[in-house]
Structure 1
Amino acid sequence: MEFKVKELEDYSPQMGHLVSMMNYARLTTLQAVQGLTTEQLDYLHSENSNSIGALLFHIAAVEFGFQLEIFDKREPNEQETLEWGAGYDLGDKGRSEIKGNSLEFYVDKLKTVRERTLKEFQKRDDNWLYSDRLWGDNQSNNYFIWFHSFEDEINHRGQIRIQRKMLPR
Protein backbone atom coordinates (compact mmCIF):
# COMPACT_ATOMS: atom_id res chain seq x y z
CA MET A 1 0.00 0.00 0.00
CA GLU A 2 1.17 3.49 -0.77
CA PHE A 3 0.39 6.59 1.29
CA LYS A 4 1.09 9.52 -1.03
CA VAL A 5 -0.80 12.62 -2.01
CA LYS A 6 -0.23 12.60 -5.73
CA GLU A 7 -1.72 12.99 -9.18
CA LEU A 8 -4.06 10.17 -10.12
CA GLU A 9 -5.01 8.78 -13.50
CA ASP A 10 -8.36 10.10 -14.78
CA TYR A 11 -8.20 13.25 -12.62
CA SER A 12 -6.69 16.68 -13.13
CA PRO A 13 -3.54 17.22 -10.98
CA GLN A 14 -5.11 18.97 -7.98
CA MET A 15 -8.23 16.83 -8.20
CA GLY A 16 -5.96 13.79 -7.89
CA HIS A 17 -4.42 15.30 -4.76
CA LEU A 18 -7.87 15.84 -3.27
CA VAL A 19 -9.00 12.31 -4.16
CA SER A 20 -5.79 10.89 -2.62
CA MET A 21 -6.60 12.59 0.67
CA MET A 22 -10.26 11.59 0.55
CA ASN A 23 -9.31 7.96 -0.17
CA TYR A 24 -6.96 7.85 2.82
CA ALA A 25 -9.58 9.38 5.13
CA ARG A 26 -12.11 6.77 3.98
CA LEU A 27 -9.63 3.90 4.37
CA THR A 28 -8.95 4.86 7.99
CA THR A 29 -12.66 5.33 8.71
CA LEU A 30 -13.39 1.84 7.43
CA GLN A 31 -10.49 0.42 9.44
CA ALA A 32 -11.92 2.07 12.58
CA VAL A 33 -15.23 0.21 12.23
CA GLN A 34 -14.01 -3.10 10.88
CA GLY A 35 -15.76 -6.08 12.47
CA LEU A 36 -18.37 -4.14 14.43
CA THR A 37 -21.73 -5.83 15.01
CA THR A 38 -25.12 -4.17 14.65
CA GLU A 39 -25.37 -4.02 18.45
CA GLN A 40 -22.01 -2.26 18.66
CA LEU A 41 -22.93 0.13 15.83
CA ASP A 42 -26.13 1.06 17.72
CA TYR A 43 -24.54 1.43 21.17
CA LEU A 44 -25.08 4.79 22.89
CA HIS A 45 -22.63 5.50 25.69
CA SER A 46 -24.83 8.34 27.00
CA GLU A 47 -28.34 9.64 26.39
CA ASN A 48 -27.06 12.49 24.21
CA SER A 49 -24.42 10.66 22.21
CA ASN A 50 -24.59 9.53 18.62
CA SER A 51 -23.99 5.89 17.80
CA ILE A 52 -21.13 4.77 15.60
CA GLY A 53 -23.71 3.75 12.99
CA ALA A 54 -25.27 7.22 13.09
CA LEU A 55 -21.84 8.82 12.62
CA LEU A 56 -21.17 6.61 9.59
CA PHE A 57 -24.55 7.52 8.15
CA HIS A 58 -23.81 11.20 8.85
CA ILE A 59 -20.52 11.00 6.93
CA ALA A 60 -22.39 9.63 3.90
CA ALA A 61 -25.20 12.18 4.31
CA VAL A 62 -22.80 15.14 4.38
CA GLU A 63 -21.13 14.01 1.17
CA PHE A 64 -24.52 13.35 -0.43
CA GLY A 65 -25.67 16.83 0.57
CA PHE A 66 -22.60 18.41 -1.01
CA GLN A 67 -23.27 16.41 -4.18
CA LEU A 68 -26.75 17.90 -4.40
CA GLU A 69 -25.56 21.42 -3.63
CA ILE A 70 -22.49 21.43 -5.88
CA PHE A 71 -23.13 18.98 -8.71
CA ASP A 72 -26.93 19.28 -8.95
CA LYS A 73 -27.22 22.90 -7.71
CA ARG A 74 -30.25 22.13 -5.58
CA GLU A 75 -31.55 21.29 -2.13
CA PRO A 76 -32.67 17.78 -1.21
CA ASN A 77 -36.16 16.85 -2.38
CA GLU A 78 -38.80 15.35 -0.09
CA GLN A 79 -37.71 11.74 -0.66
CA GLU A 80 -34.03 12.58 -0.13
CA THR A 81 -34.89 14.47 3.05
CA LEU A 82 -36.76 11.42 4.34
CA GLU A 83 -33.86 9.12 3.49
CA TRP A 84 -30.99 11.32 4.67
CA GLY A 85 -32.50 13.82 7.15
CA ALA A 86 -31.64 11.88 10.30
CA GLY A 87 -28.07 11.64 9.02
CA TYR A 88 -27.84 15.39 8.60
CA ASP A 89 -29.42 16.16 11.95
CA LEU A 90 -28.17 13.36 14.20
CA GLY A 91 -29.22 14.08 17.80
CA ASP A 92 -32.67 12.84 18.83
CA LYS A 93 -33.70 12.18 15.24
CA GLY A 94 -30.56 10.17 14.55
CA ARG A 95 -30.90 8.19 17.79
CA SER A 96 -34.47 7.23 16.97
CA GLU A 97 -34.11 6.55 13.23
CA ILE A 98 -30.55 5.32 12.62
CA LYS A 99 -30.31 1.91 14.22
CA GLY A 100 -30.68 -1.76 13.49
CA ASN A 101 -28.40 -1.69 10.46
CA SER A 102 -25.41 -3.91 9.74
CA LEU A 103 -21.94 -2.60 9.07
CA GLU A 104 -22.45 -3.60 5.43
CA PHE A 105 -25.44 -1.21 5.24
CA TYR A 106 -23.29 1.76 6.29
CA VAL A 107 -20.31 0.73 4.16
CA ASP A 108 -22.61 0.42 1.15
CA LYS A 109 -24.01 3.93 1.75
CA LEU A 110 -20.49 5.35 2.02
CA LYS A 111 -19.36 3.48 -1.09
CA THR A 112 -22.35 4.42 -3.22
CA VAL A 113 -22.11 8.10 -2.35
CA ARG A 114 -18.35 8.17 -2.90
CA GLU A 115 -18.64 6.47 -6.30
CA ARG A 116 -20.76 9.36 -7.53
CA THR A 117 -18.36 11.95 -6.12
CA LEU A 118 -15.44 10.33 -7.92
CA LYS A 119 -17.33 10.10 -11.22
CA GLU A 120 -18.26 13.78 -10.96
CA PHE A 121 -14.67 14.73 -10.12
CA GLN A 122 -13.49 13.01 -13.31
CA LYS A 123 -15.69 15.44 -15.29
CA ARG A 124 -14.07 18.49 -13.69
CA ASP A 125 -10.65 20.09 -13.67
CA ASP A 126 -8.44 22.19 -11.41
CA ASN A 127 -10.08 25.43 -12.57
CA TRP A 128 -13.42 24.11 -11.33
CA LEU A 129 -11.81 23.07 -8.05
CA TYR A 130 -10.60 26.64 -7.46
CA SER A 131 -13.83 28.28 -8.69
CA ASP A 132 -15.13 30.87 -6.25
CA ARG A 133 -18.47 30.23 -4.60
CA LEU A 134 -20.40 31.24 -1.56
CA TRP A 135 -20.80 28.81 1.30
CA GLY A 136 -23.52 30.36 3.36
CA ASP A 137 -22.38 33.97 3.67
CA ASN A 138 -18.70 33.12 3.30
CA GLN A 139 -16.38 33.28 0.32
CA SER A 140 -15.26 29.78 -0.55
CA ASN A 141 -14.33 27.55 -3.46
CA ASN A 142 -15.09 23.98 -4.49
CA TYR A 143 -11.74 22.80 -3.14
CA PHE A 144 -12.64 24.02 0.34
CA ILE A 145 -16.10 22.45 0.23
CA TRP A 146 -14.68 19.02 -0.60
CA PHE A 147 -11.85 19.45 1.90
CA HIS A 148 -14.53 20.19 4.50
CA SER A 149 -16.39 17.02 3.51
CA PHE A 150 -13.48 14.75 4.41
CA GLU A 151 -12.35 16.97 7.29
CA ASP A 152 -15.79 16.32 8.82
CA GLU A 153 -15.26 12.61 8.24
CA ILE A 154 -11.90 12.73 10.01
CA ASN A 155 -13.48 14.46 13.03
CA HIS A 156 -16.16 11.80 13.25
CA ARG A 157 -13.62 9.03 12.74
CA GLY A 158 -11.95 10.30 15.90
CA GLN A 159 -15.27 10.09 17.73
CA ILE A 160 -15.77 6.58 16.36
CA ARG A 161 -12.37 5.47 17.65
CA ILE A 162 -13.14 6.80 21.13
CA GLN A 163 -16.60 5.26 21.14
CA ARG A 164 -15.22 1.93 20.02
CA LYS A 165 -13.01 1.92 23.11
CA MET A 166 -16.10 2.63 25.25
CA LEU A 167 -18.10 -0.35 23.93
CA PRO A 168 -19.13 -2.84 26.60
CA ARG A 169 -16.91 -5.88 26.69
Structure 2
Amino acid sequence: MKKTVFALFMLINSGISAQYEMKPAEGYTHDIGLVVAMLEDLKNRITAEVKDLSQSETDFLFDEKANSIGSLLMHLVATEAYYQIETLEGRKLTEEEEKRWGIGGELNEESKKKLQEKPIKHYLNLWDEVRQKTLAGLKTKDDTWFASEIDEGLNYHWVWYHVMEHQANHMGQIALVKNRLLK
Protein backbone atom coordinates (compact mmCIF):
# COMPACT_ATOMS: atom_id res chain seq x y z
CA MET A 1 0.00 0.00 0.00
CA LYS A 2 2.76 2.45 0.99
CA LYS A 3 4.67 1.66 -2.21
CA THR A 4 1.57 2.31 -4.32
CA VAL A 5 0.91 5.66 -2.63
CA PHE A 6 4.56 6.65 -3.01
CA ALA A 7 4.59 5.65 -6.71
CA LEU A 8 1.42 7.66 -7.30
CA PHE A 9 2.93 10.65 -5.48
CA MET A 10 6.10 10.44 -7.59
CA LEU A 11 4.10 10.20 -10.82
CA ILE A 12 1.99 13.22 -9.89
CA ASN A 13 5.09 15.24 -8.98
CA SER A 14 7.18 14.10 -11.96
CA GLY A 15 7.69 15.95 -15.21
CA ILE A 16 4.43 14.45 -16.45
CA SER A 17 2.45 16.81 -14.22
CA ALA A 18 3.72 19.82 -16.22
CA GLN A 19 1.01 19.13 -18.78
CA TYR A 20 -1.50 20.14 -16.13
CA GLU A 21 -0.02 23.55 -15.49
CA MET A 22 -2.58 26.32 -15.93
CA LYS A 23 -1.30 29.33 -17.87
CA PRO A 24 -3.24 32.29 -19.27
CA ALA A 25 -4.44 31.79 -22.85
CA GLU A 26 -2.52 33.92 -25.31
CA GLY A 27 -4.12 37.10 -26.59
CA TYR A 28 -5.91 37.92 -23.34
CA THR A 29 -4.99 39.90 -20.27
CA HIS A 30 -3.64 37.75 -17.42
CA ASP A 31 -6.78 37.13 -15.34
CA ILE A 32 -9.11 36.79 -18.31
CA GLY A 33 -6.56 34.50 -19.97
CA LEU A 34 -6.58 32.18 -16.95
CA VAL A 35 -10.37 31.90 -17.01
CA VAL A 36 -10.31 31.36 -20.80
CA ALA A 37 -7.76 28.55 -20.34
CA MET A 38 -9.99 26.95 -17.69
CA LEU A 39 -13.16 27.34 -19.78
CA GLU A 40 -11.43 25.78 -22.76
CA ASP A 41 -10.08 22.93 -20.64
CA LEU A 42 -13.55 22.13 -19.30
CA LYS A 43 -15.13 22.31 -22.76
CA ASN A 44 -12.45 20.04 -24.22
CA ARG A 45 -12.86 17.50 -21.41
CA ILE A 46 -16.65 17.43 -21.73
CA THR A 47 -16.43 17.20 -25.52
CA ALA A 48 -14.00 14.28 -25.29
CA GLU A 49 -16.46 12.43 -23.03
CA VAL A 50 -19.50 12.86 -25.28
CA LYS A 51 -18.35 13.34 -28.89
CA ASP A 52 -18.88 9.70 -29.88
CA LEU A 53 -22.29 9.16 -28.28
CA SER A 54 -25.05 7.61 -30.35
CA GLN A 55 -28.48 9.18 -30.63
CA SER A 56 -29.96 6.89 -27.99
CA GLU A 57 -27.09 7.69 -25.62
CA THR A 58 -27.47 11.44 -26.22
CA ASP A 59 -31.20 11.22 -25.38
CA PHE A 60 -30.96 8.64 -22.57
CA LEU A 61 -32.88 9.34 -19.33
CA PHE A 62 -32.05 6.93 -16.51
CA ASP A 63 -35.17 7.95 -14.58
CA GLU A 64 -38.04 10.44 -14.74
CA LYS A 65 -36.11 13.11 -12.80
CA ALA A 66 -32.89 12.87 -14.81
CA ASN A 67 -31.77 15.03 -17.71
CA SER A 68 -30.28 13.68 -20.90
CA ILE A 69 -26.71 14.44 -21.90
CA GLY A 70 -28.12 16.41 -24.84
CA SER A 71 -30.24 18.59 -22.57
CA LEU A 72 -27.33 19.12 -20.15
CA LEU A 73 -25.12 20.25 -23.03
CA MET A 74 -27.83 22.58 -24.30
CA HIS A 75 -28.09 23.98 -20.78
CA LEU A 76 -24.35 24.71 -20.76
CA VAL A 77 -24.58 26.38 -24.17
CA ALA A 78 -27.61 28.47 -23.20
CA THR A 79 -26.05 29.55 -19.91
CA GLU A 80 -22.85 30.65 -21.61
CA ALA A 81 -24.84 32.48 -24.32
CA TYR A 82 -26.87 34.29 -21.65
CA TYR A 83 -23.82 35.49 -19.71
CA GLN A 84 -21.98 36.35 -22.90
CA ILE A 85 -24.80 38.62 -24.07
CA GLU A 86 -25.38 40.14 -20.63
CA THR A 87 -21.73 40.81 -19.74
CA LEU A 88 -19.77 41.08 -22.99
CA GLU A 89 -22.44 42.81 -25.05
CA GLY A 90 -24.03 44.62 -22.10
CA ARG A 91 -27.62 43.95 -23.07
CA LYS A 92 -30.59 41.67 -22.46
CA LEU A 93 -31.48 38.77 -24.74
CA THR A 94 -33.67 39.64 -27.70
CA GLU A 95 -36.95 37.83 -28.22
CA GLU A 96 -35.27 35.71 -30.90
CA GLU A 97 -32.35 34.85 -28.59
CA GLU A 98 -34.74 34.04 -25.77
CA LYS A 99 -36.53 31.64 -28.10
CA ARG A 100 -33.27 30.05 -29.22
CA TRP A 101 -31.60 29.70 -25.81
CA GLY A 102 -34.56 29.69 -23.40
CA ILE A 103 -35.30 25.99 -23.78
CA GLY A 104 -31.79 25.15 -22.65
CA GLY A 105 -31.75 27.67 -19.83
CA GLU A 106 -34.29 25.68 -17.87
CA LEU A 107 -33.93 21.99 -17.22
CA ASN A 108 -37.58 21.00 -16.89
CA GLU A 109 -40.26 18.76 -18.39
CA GLU A 110 -40.58 20.91 -21.51
CA SER A 111 -36.85 20.81 -22.20
CA LYS A 112 -36.80 17.03 -21.67
CA LYS A 113 -39.39 16.68 -24.44
CA LYS A 114 -37.99 19.25 -26.85
CA LEU A 115 -34.32 18.40 -26.47
CA GLN A 116 -34.55 14.97 -28.02
CA GLU A 117 -33.62 13.46 -31.37
CA LYS A 118 -30.75 15.84 -32.04
CA PRO A 119 -27.33 14.28 -32.58
CA ILE A 120 -24.52 15.05 -30.16
CA LYS A 121 -22.85 17.07 -32.94
CA HIS A 122 -25.82 19.48 -32.87
CA TYR A 123 -25.08 20.47 -29.28
CA LEU A 124 -21.32 20.52 -29.74
CA ASN A 125 -21.63 22.73 -32.84
CA LEU A 126 -23.86 25.16 -30.92
CA TRP A 127 -21.31 25.23 -28.10
CA ASP A 128 -18.51 25.93 -30.61
CA GLU A 129 -20.56 28.82 -32.04
CA VAL A 130 -21.24 30.35 -28.63
CA ARG A 131 -17.69 29.78 -27.41
CA GLN A 132 -16.20 31.57 -30.42
CA LYS A 133 -18.30 34.63 -29.57
CA THR A 134 -17.29 34.36 -25.91
CA LEU A 135 -13.60 34.19 -26.79
CA ALA A 136 -13.87 37.11 -29.21
CA GLY A 137 -15.76 39.18 -26.63
CA LEU A 138 -13.35 38.43 -23.80
CA LYS A 139 -10.44 39.40 -26.06
CA THR A 140 -11.85 42.95 -26.17
CA LYS A 141 -11.85 43.23 -22.36
CA ASP A 142 -9.07 43.73 -19.83
CA ASP A 143 -8.45 42.83 -16.20
CA THR A 144 -9.69 46.22 -14.99
CA TRP A 145 -13.06 45.49 -16.61
CA PHE A 146 -12.93 41.92 -15.27
CA ALA A 147 -12.53 43.16 -11.70
CA SER A 148 -15.10 45.96 -12.02
CA GLU A 149 -18.40 45.75 -10.15
CA ILE A 150 -21.66 45.03 -11.93
CA ASP A 151 -23.60 45.36 -8.68
CA GLU A 152 -22.51 45.59 -5.10
CA GLY A 153 -20.46 42.47 -4.35
CA LEU A 154 -20.65 41.15 -7.93
CA ASN A 155 -17.98 41.59 -10.59
CA TYR A 156 -17.39 40.19 -14.08
CA HIS A 157 -14.70 37.85 -12.81
CA TRP A 158 -17.19 36.17 -10.49
CA VAL A 159 -19.76 35.87 -13.31
CA TRP A 160 -17.28 34.07 -15.58
CA TYR A 161 -16.04 31.98 -12.67
CA HIS A 162 -19.69 30.98 -12.20
CA VAL A 163 -19.96 29.96 -15.88
CA MET A 164 -16.86 27.81 -15.40
CA GLU A 165 -18.14 26.38 -12.10
CA HIS A 166 -21.47 25.65 -13.78
CA GLN A 167 -19.75 23.70 -16.55
CA ALA A 168 -17.69 21.70 -14.04
CA ASN A 169 -20.82 20.87 -12.05
CA HIS A 170 -22.69 19.62 -15.10
CA MET A 171 -19.60 17.72 -16.28
CA GLY A 172 -20.15 15.59 -13.20
CA GLN A 173 -23.81 15.07 -14.08
CA ILE A 174 -22.87 14.14 -17.64
CA ALA A 175 -20.42 11.56 -16.26
CA LEU A 176 -23.17 10.16 -14.02
CA VAL A 177 -25.63 9.85 -16.92
CA LYS A 178 -22.94 8.31 -19.12
CA ASN A 179 -22.16 5.81 -16.35
CA ARG A 180 -25.84 4.84 -16.23
CA LEU A 181 -26.19 4.25 -19.98
CA LEU A 182 -27.73 0.92 -20.82
CA LYS A 183 -25.04 -1.39 -22.11
Residues 79, 163 of structure 2: 8 Å contact kept:
yes
From 96, 101, 104, give the equivalent of 1:84.
101
Q: Aligned residues, how many?
A: 166
Question: Does 1:143 find its partner at 2:146?
Answer: no
The one-letter code of the counterpart of 1:148 is H
Q: CA deviation at 1:6?
A: 1.3
Give the 3-state SS of the residue equivalent to 2:177 in structure 1.
helix
Q: What TM-score comes out, normalization by structure 1 length?
A: 0.93
Hey, what's the Cα distance between the residues in 1 that align with 2:31 and 2:91? 25
> Which of these residues, 38, 41, 50, is aligned with residue 24 of structure 1?
41
1:4 to 15, 21, 25: 21
CA–CA separation in structure 2 for the residues paired with 1:65 and 1:7: 24
- How big is each residue's C-alpha offset from its partner over 1:89-144, in whole Å with a ceiling of 9 and x where there is no partner? 1111211111111111111011110101110111111101101112xxx6211111
Question: In the alignment, is the contact (CA less than 8 A) between 1:132 and 1:141 conserved in 2?
Answer: yes
TM-score by length of 2: 0.86
Q: Distance in 2 between matches of 1:28 and 1:19?
A: 14
Cα distance in 1 for partners of 2:156, 2:86 equals 11
1:51 counterpart (54, 68, 71): 68
Conserved? CA contact 1:63–1:113, under 8 Å: yes
Do the aligned residues in 2 keep the contact of 1:49 with 1:91 (CA within 8 Å)? no
Give the Cα separation in 1 of the matches to 2:25 and 2:71. 32
Residue of structure 2 in register with 1:106 after alignment: 123
Question: Which residue is equivalent to 1:162?
Answer: 176
CA distance in 2, matches of 1:74, 1:93: 26
Runs of 4+ more than 4 Å apart: none
Distance, in Å, in 1 between the alignment partners of 2:132 and 2:65 is 32
Shift of 1:72: 2.2
Which has more radius of gyration?
A: 2
* Alpha-carbon shift at residue 38 of structure 1 (Å): 1.4
